[in-house]
């Protein structure tokens, strides 16, 4: 689920309804973290239903205000982001799957990146220190894009972060992490043909799940 823009795990009963204690739902930012949080159930959304932040549609200028990138990538027609992309496009494009993980929020954080291009594969698992989940998601995207050597090639980047997608493709104003957001936006504009695509998290997509495991492993290996 999603709580205040962050991915979380929520305790449910046998019928997949929120498991409440004193009227509040139980959540964790990572399944293996020892503690859990009690939050109001009405503040928990599905990963695909997070609303845009207030003022998201208004264009903003200037580095400190988090100006939106001039190019706003969108999902190509005919692509089902939850199931990958057609074979003919896979043969032409670099495919990047990114994910960030955070044990607590903020807490120890890691990133995971899976890259595929014409049979070649690269995986990145890196600990980034103490950070928030949103920072980890952005850092994962930044790392994946920085690893592309030929930026004239078509690139499809898949992320399950509504926060990152809103900032990079919908013109959301960056109220936090402004320097990081601006650096990723500038990086996006160095690509000739880049599409950033929303993918449903923890829905069984093998590469998305692999990116998540790489991010979690980075945290565990740093302990």
Q: Which residues are catalytic?
A: 99-100, 137, 160, 202, 212
78 Ramachandran zone, left/alpha/beta (phi>0; psi -120 to 50):
left
Nearest CA to 115 among 136, 134, 137, 90? 90
- Distance CA(183)–CA(180), nearest Å, equals 5
Q: Could you write out the three-class secondary structure of 64-99?
A: CCCCCCCCCCCCCCCCCCCCCCCHHHHCCCEEEEEE
What span, in angstroms and rounded, lies between the C-alpha atoms of 59 and 106?
29
In angstroms, the Cα distances linking 206 to 37, 85, 127 are: 29, 13, 22
Residue 176: is the preceding peptide bond cis (ω within 30°)?
no
Q: Which residues pair with 98 in a beta bridge?
A: 113
């Amino acid at each position: 689920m999603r709580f205040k823009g962050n991915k979380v795990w929520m305790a449910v009963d046998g019928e997949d309804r929120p498991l409440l204690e004193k009227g509040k739902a139980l959540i964790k930012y990572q399944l293996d973290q020892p503690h859990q949080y009690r939050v109001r159930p009405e503040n928990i959304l599905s990963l695909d239903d997070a609303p845009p932040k207030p003022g998201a549609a208004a264009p903003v200028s200037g580095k400190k205000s988090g100006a939106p990138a001039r190019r706003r990538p969108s999902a190509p027609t005919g692509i089902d982001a939850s199931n990958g992309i057609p074979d003919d496009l896979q043969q032409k494009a670099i495919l990047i799957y990114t994910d960030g993980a955070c044990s607590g929020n903020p807490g120890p954080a890691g990133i995971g990146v899976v890259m595929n291009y014409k049979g070649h594969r690269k995986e990145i698992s890196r600990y980034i220190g103490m950070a928030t989940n949103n920072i980890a998601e952005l850092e994962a995207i930044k790392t994946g894009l920085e690893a592309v050597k030929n930026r004239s090639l078509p690139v499809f980047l898949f992320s399950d972060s509504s926060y990152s997608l809103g900032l990079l493709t919908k013109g959301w104003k960056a109220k936090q992490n402004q320097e990081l957001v601006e650096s990723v936006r500038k990086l996006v504009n160095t690509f000739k043909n880049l599409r950033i695509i929303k993918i449903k998290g923890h829905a069984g997509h093998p590469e998305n799940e692999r990116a998540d495991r790489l991010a979690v492993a980075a945290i565990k290996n740093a302990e």
